[in-house]
Amino acid sequence: MEPATESRSYSPGLEGVLAGETAIALVDGKNGRLTYRGYPIGELVRHGSYADVAELLWTGEWGPGARLACASLSPPVLAALRNLPDGANAMDALRSAVSAWGAAERPGWPPSAEQARALTAMTPTALAGYARLQQGLEPIEPDPDLPLAAGFLYQLTGELPDEADARALDAYLIVAAEHSFNASTFAARVITSTKSDLASAVCGAIGALKGPLHGGAPTEVASQLLQIGSPERAEAWMRGALDRGERLMGFGHRVYRAYDPRAAALREVAEGMANAADWLKLAVAVEDVALRLLAERHPDRGLKTNVEYYTAAVLQGVGLPPAIFPATFAMARHAGWTAHCIEQASANRLIRPDVRYVGPAERSLPGVGATA
Ligand code: ACO
């Protein structure tokens, strides 16, 4: 039997395919605009906190002054972190912590804002705990009086963080909190659509974000700037990289053809950070050269600075080790992922697309066929 002729069009990577509806965020790549529930990202960074923004994503309501502190780890989560095999990275740790949290808490369906708050408050403690265990140090109990970003920094070092650093990290968490139907968010929605629980959806999302095409760039931006070393070396270094067919990290985006509004917001934050000053000077000089060279080579492509570029400066400036940059991104994205799970559940339909079959026509096993 021949497969039925398939006339519907297929878009590899689902590029350009409308795969759902959302009221959470709008990414306007052509004009370089990003809004959460209609509010521009720059305004949210200037006037809100991560807790305010997370509440906005979960509930749709803007209520400045929201509180979200890091939560203690339950024994199963702590045990999961202590029992990780050697060589497990920070994303493995976060995924394992969320999995253990789900097994212990058993969040029911549908996912709720309350579940989202509890999970989002747990992950910074888990990530800081993992980072300390890696250094042979004991995890630190969270301080319930500190907001999430400050609490995370405190649990990494055991010292109360500088206010400007905490504010800068908070700004990063805001810009990284949500970005519509990217791969990890879509993965979370697919899992939620089966009526699986919130922890399972977030484990799937962390798995998707772990891939280097999605969440790995800030570490590479940091290494690129380290290799360039000084503004005078930027042009020769980058021309060499482009001649070898390599990509300049922190530039280009699948959706944005204009300057990524998150990069603009983070650059503003980095400019206010004393600890990021040297990095920032180098980053700004290198960015100018990169944009000029990319415009020369791809004049029609609109290759501009993306969010990962200034992420590297901010995260480096607040003293985070590059090895936990991707997991810090995952920690921030908890607000967006869980908001999407809530939204998916509120008008749920199992996500199950079709596929075009391109294998052999139906046939019999060798020696078993009708002609035998
Ligand atoms: N440096 C040099 N050239 C680039 C870059 C770059 N950063 N980005 C795209 N190009 C070139 C490609 O080589 C390609 O050229 P060609 O047509 O001559 O082959 C052309 O632009 C189009 O490239 P695509 O891969 O089709 O562009 P796409 O929009 O799909 O890529 C991506 C987006 C993957 C982000 C890409 O720009 C890239 O690899 N950037 C560097 C890595 C990076 O910064 N990633 C972080 C993205 S932001 C985020 O994940 C939150």
Domains of the chain: 25-212+333-346 (1.10.580.10), 217-317 (1.10.230.10)
pTM over cut 0.75? yes
Average pLDDT over residues 278-303: 92
Q: Which protein residue's CA is at the shortest distance from atom 3 of ligand 1?
A: 247
Q: Which protein residue's CA is at the shortest distance from atom 14 of ligand 1?
A: 298
Overall size of the chain counted in residues: 372
Q: Work out whether strand 33-36 and strand 39-40 pair parallel, antiparallel, or are unpaired.
A: antiparallel
Percentage of residues in the chain having pLDDT higher than 90: 81
Expressed in angstroms and rounded, the spacing between residue 178 Cα and the centre of ligand 1 is 21
Using CA atoms, how far residue 345 sits from 147, 179, 202, in Å, is: 29, 19, 14
Q: Is the pLDDT of residue 184 over 60?
A: yes
Nearest to 216 by CA among 311, 281, 83, 85: 311
Q: Is the pLDDT of residue 59 over 70?
A: yes
Q: Is the pLDDT of residue 262 over 60?
A: yes
Distance separating alpha carbons of residues 329 and 184, to the nearest angstrom: 12
Using most ligand atoms within 8 A of CB, pick from 301, 305, 328, 329 the residue to mutate for ligand 1.
Answer: 301
Average pLDDT over residues 3-14: 80
Query: So what's the pLDDT on residue 44?
Result: 97
SS3 17: coil
Query: What tens digit of pLDDT does each residue of 73-120 get?
Result: 999 999 999 999 999 999 999 999 999 999 999 999 999 999 999 999
SS3 36: strand
Average pLDDT over residues 191-203: 98
Query: So what's the pLDDT on residue 212?
Result: 78
Q: Is the pLDDT of residue 363 over 70?
A: yes
User: Could you tell me which residue, 232 or 7, shows the higher pLDDT?
Assistant: 232
253 is catalytic: yes
Using most ligand atoms within 8 A of CB, pick from 253, 260, 291, 333 the residue to mutate for ligand 1.
Answer: 253
Q: Considering 105, 308, 334, 340, which one is annotated as catalytic?
A: 308
Decide if 130 contacts 100 (C-beta within 8 A): no
Nearest to 170 by CA among 185, 153, 158: 153
Query: What tens digit of pLDDT does each residue of 199-244 get?
Result: 999 999 999 999 877 877 777 888 899 999 999 999 999 999 999 9
Average pLDDT over residues 147-169: 96
The confidence band for 50, taking pLDDT boundaries of 50, 70 and 90, is: very high
Residues with CB under 6 A from ligand 1: 214, 217, 247-254, 294, 298, 301, 303, 306-308
Expressed in angstroms and rounded, the spacing between residue 304 Cα and the centre of ligand 1 is 10
The confidence band for 274, taking pLDDT boundaries of 50, 70 and 90, is: confident
Query: What tens digit of pLDDT does each residue of 316-350 get?
Result: 889 999 899 999 999 999 999 999 999 999 999 99
Q: Which are the contacts of 249, defined by CB distance < 8 A and separation ≥ 6? A: 217, 220, 221, 223, 224, 308, 309
Query: So what's the pLDDT on residue 368?
Result: 92
| Unique residue bearing structure tokens 């993992």 | 130
Q: Considering 105, 178, 253, 334, which one is annotated as catalytic?
A: 253
Centre a 10 Å sphere on the Cβ of residue 109 and count the other Cβ atoms it contains. 15
Q: Is the pLDDT of residue 6 over 80?
A: no
SS3 87: coil
Q: Which protein residue's CA is at the shortest distance from atom 1 of ligand 1?
A: 247
Q: Which numbered atom of ligand 1 lies nearest the CA of 298?
A: 21
Q: Which protein residue's CA is at the shortest distance from atom 39 of ligand 1?
A: 247
Query: So what's the pLDDT on residue 371?
Result: 56
Q: Is the pLDDT of residue 160 over 60?
A: yes
Distance separating alpha carbons of residues 322 and 363, to the nearest angstrom: 53
Residue 101, H or E segment: helix 90-105
Expressed in angstroms and rounded, the spacing between residue 251 Cα and the centre of ligand 1 is 7
Query: So what's the pLDDT on residue 4?
Result: 58
